[in-house]
């Protein structure tokens, strides 16, 4: 995958997230997939809003670890 588009946020700023929980859907030219949180905490800030084109390794959101 070279790039994808942030299709839909499943969580919003301030929402709690668990390890492995899907937080955002991304869309490539071939499929739609979910990105899961690698840590538990709260979404502090969404860096890549819906419609943003992102590449592997880009930061999508900041999560405040509890």
Counting runs of H as helices and runs of E as strands, what totals does the chain give?
A: 0, 7
pLDDT at 65 over 90: yes
> What pLDDT, on the 0 to 100 scale, is given for residue 66?
77
CA distance 50 to 34: 13
pLDDT of 3-26, one tens digit each? 999 999 999 999 999 999 999 999
Sorted by where each starts, the structural domains of the chain and their CATH numbers stand as 4-65 (2.40.50.100)
CA distance 25 to 6: 6
């Amino acid at each position: 995958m070279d790039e994808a588009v942030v299709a839909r946020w499943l969580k919003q700023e301030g929402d709690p997230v668990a390890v492995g929980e899907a937080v955002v859907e991304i869309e490539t030219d071939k499929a739609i997939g979910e990105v899961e949180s690698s840590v538990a905490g709260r979404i502090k800030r969404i860096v890549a809003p819906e419609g943003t084109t992102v590449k592997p390794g880009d930061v999508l959101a900041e999560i405040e670890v509890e």
